[in-house]
Amino acid sequence: MKILRILLLISLPILTQAQVDLAPTPPKLSAPAYILQDFYSGKVLMKKNADQRLEPASLTKLMTAYLVFKKLQAGKIKLTDTVLISEKAWRMQGSKMYIEVGKRVPLELLIKGMIVQSGNDASVALAEFVAGTEDAFVALMNQEAQRLGLTNSHFTNCTGLPNEQPTITTPHDLVRLARALIRDFPEYYHWYSVLEFTYNNIKQQNRNGLLWRDPTVDGMKTGYTRAAGYCLIASAKRGKMRLISVVVGAETKKKRHSDSEEMLNYGFQFFETHLLYKGHQVLDTERVWQGNEEELQLGLENPLYLTLPKGQYKNLKAKLYIDKHIMAPVVAGETYGTLKIRFADKEDVILERPLVALSSIEEGNLWNRLKDSILLFFVKQL
């Protein structure tokens, strides 16, 4: 038996196909695989072959950056550290930062070289600095991929260059990785919006052309190999809404940019995202029986965002279903009810989220337990 509470605040982080159909049909793109996702809610707004395993080219460097940022954030390395450039790093082909063998280069410059110039030499130098060898670093990449839930990804180098056993991933995994990088390392994300970088008297421009023509775009990464085609992960923020697009396998640079632009414009024009509940926000207060306290506050473990077609917010309603007769002891984080979301004119539940205890309540003393046992007996008769 659960007690019903109706919330005045409503939320919907994921939509059924029926609700998605309230928005105009997504544009048809030329790329063979792509995905568009809201950063805050995680809602996928359009996709094609999003779970097809493909080569990502230099998009691989997002995972390389993720591991470097993780070490920085943990204090295990510093931006002022200097990195000795190996012959292997110096000999890397493809896009380069043009570092020189035997020289020491500040870590921060190598990060900029990897992100802005897509330097394969900088990527290998960073991998060797973090893990000793590129092979050891690749093992860390695959461990991190599993932790992040990139279940269809396998990394074989830190650059995305062609290999006998190439790196394989999917648009879905790539957007999940991009979202994790922005979420987990906001202090380092700004490097993805740098337009150009000069090292060794060689100035190179960021290959993400959207940075130059759309001021709302602030990242993230391009890639190209013959096998992968032209690839681009782009992130843009307009107002309080951030979207991430992934294009893999486009035929030309121009098409990877135009496909990304079409996706972002579609998402921003026809959808909206709102923060409905903060994590640990009190949504309900309930009586606790036989505890050393009588009131228990309930809420959601994490912030709850909604993404839905524009104009549909007013049609939503939320209800709380609370467990009846909550008994001490209560453990913080345990579930004592459910938040259910519906459209106002529909009975089907669109979403359920557990309501958790926001604090622990210990069992009361003998008097409290005895008193509440007697009171509860009469309450149950009502």
| Torsion of the alpha carbons at 303, 276, 176 and 27, rounded to the nearest 10 | 180
86 assigned to active site: no
State the catalytic residue, choosing from 11, 43, 47, 61.
Answer: 61
Whether 118 is a known active-site residue: answer yes
For the question of residue 373 being annotated catalytic, the response is no
Q: Looking at 11, 58, 86, 123, which residue is catalytic? A: 58
b/e map 180-215, b = 16+ CB within 10 Å: bbbeebeebbebbbbeebebeeeebebbbbbbeebe
Q: Which of 41, 118, 245, 258 is catalytic?
A: 118
The β-bridge partners of 59 are none
Catalytic site positions? 58, 61, 118
